[in-house]
Amino acid sequence: MHFNFQNIKSPTLVLNKEIVLRNIKRMNEKARQSQVTFRPHFKTHQSAEIGAWFREFGVSKITVSSLAMAEYFAKSGWQDITLAFPVNVREIDRINRLAEIIQLNLLVENEEAIRFLDQHLRTPVALFIKVDTGLNRTGIWWKNHESIVKLVSILQSSQKLHFSGFLTHAGHSYDGQSTEAIKEIYAETLIRLQAAKSELQKQLKVACVLSVGDTPGCSIIDNFEGVDEIRPGNFVFYDVMQLNLGACTQDDIAIALACPVVAKHPSRQQIVVHGGAVHLSRESLASNNEASHFGLVVHFSEETGWGKIIDETYVRSLSQEHGIIQAGKQLFNQTKIGDLLGILPVHSCLTANLMGEYFCSGGHTIKML
């Protein structure tokens, strides 16, 4: 592994492939040991090339969060894609074209969308019902058995719509204050999903796959017995948010934004870099009861990518293009105008989405959607 940081002139997203492969391998093995389908969410990396790395571990089914991503990955050969976002009926023409060429699994949570699909779909698709197990974002509340049974009945009477099962996203795990709290959320999710399935099967004779997916839960839990499928996404890169949750160690974080140093302000012990909200996103994190921050800082190394998180140092504020690093004394003193500093992002999905490509060892650039 050799990173040629001399070639980096402006904000650049650096990716450590070894870490990515380790992250994929770890999650893949956990899924295999629990005998559940590993259907990773590709919204985090949005890259055909990184997608291909998953294939080498035997992954053949994936999750995406937009039709554009589904089309992109279908083009690069993925044949079984779940679009884990409530169906947008305005996109019916593109849905029809895609359903003709791959196994497309869609998500519904209301009767209007189901009736619309039944009327306008040309090719059969599989449908998951989104079940809300506590996040309160989308989905039918797990206890609302009447609504769930009603939707499944409509699906059963349709020629084109095949009911697959229940899909949930326990994203409230991101509010978990400890790994114990995240484990409890996972356990509760499982109980709720299974209860919903049991109630459904009391009334209708139907198979029902259970699909779960948040990265904190999937990282902290080792045994996925009781569900059929896991859909984590962020784990491929992790980030400072996951680190704070205890879902990863700092050695698992696989991307860092390379930022040129453009100014130093001794009176405030601040370093100004080119690297702002259009690179990192404005996702922030409150840390140790202190002010929120926008990322943590590392030194690059040509051999290993980057080192440990630098003490007493964080990205204090972001403008469109500026990042203001509140620096520890040692970092401040040794940093020079024109140096590169690395920023571990708070939220790798949003940072990757903004940057649009990855800089790898050997000078290779990986493209994205």
List contacts with a copy of itself (CB under 8 A): 8-10, 43, 65-68, 85-91, 93-94, 109-110, 112-113, 116, 136-138, 141, 171, 260, 262-265, 267-268, 272, 274, 277-278, 281-283, 317, 319-322, 324, 336-338, 340, 349-350, 353-354
Query: By C-beta, is 171 or 226 nearer to a copy of itself?
Result: 171
Query: By C-beta, is 56 or 302 nearer to a copy of itself?
Result: 302
- Residue 66 has, within 13 A of its CA and on its CB side, a CA count of 8
Shortest CB 267 distance to a copy of itself, Å: 8
The structure tokens 């992109």 sit at 72
Query: By C-beta, is 65 or 313 nearer to a copy of itself?
Result: 65
Q: Give the residue from 187, 231, 188 showing the smallest Cα distance to 209.
A: 231
Shortest CB 130 distance to a copy of itself, Å: 8
Could you tell me the maximum CA-CA distance found in the chain, to the nearest angstrom? 72
Shortest CB 138 distance to a copy of itself, Å: 5
Shortest CB 175 distance to a copy of itself, Å: 12
Shortest CB 314 distance to a copy of itself, Å: 16
Q: What is the DSSP string of 305-337?
A: EE-SPPTT-EEEEE-SSEEEEE--HHHHHH--T
Shortest CB 91 distance to a copy of itself, Å: 5
The Cα 244–Cα 173 span in angstroms is 12
The structure tokens 């499982």 sit at 190
Q: Which two tokens stand for residue 196?
A: 């919903």
Query: By C-beta, is 204 or 262 nearer to a copy of itself?
Result: 262
Burial group, residue 292, by CB count within 10 angstroms (0-12, 13-18, 19+): middle
Query: By C-beta, is 137 or 308 nearer to a copy of itself?
Result: 137
Strand duo 365-367 + 357-359: pairing: antiparallel
Q: Give the residue from 264, 249, 265 showing the smallest Cα distance to 344.
A: 249
Q: Give the residue from 114, 85, 110, 81 showing the smallest Cα distance to 98.
A: 81
Query: By C-beta, is 110 or 250 nearer to a copy of itself?
Result: 110
Shortest CB 86 distance to a copy of itself, Å: 4
Shortest CB 179 distance to a copy of itself, Å: 23
Query: By C-beta, is 111 or 225 nearer to a copy of itself?
Result: 111
Q: What is the DSSP string of 57-83?
A: TT---EEESSHHHHHHHHHTT--EEEE
Query: By C-beta, is 36 or 349 nearer to a copy of itself?
Result: 349
Q: Report the 10 Å Cβ neighbour count for 40.
A: 26
Torsion sign, CA atoms 73, 100, 206, 109: positive
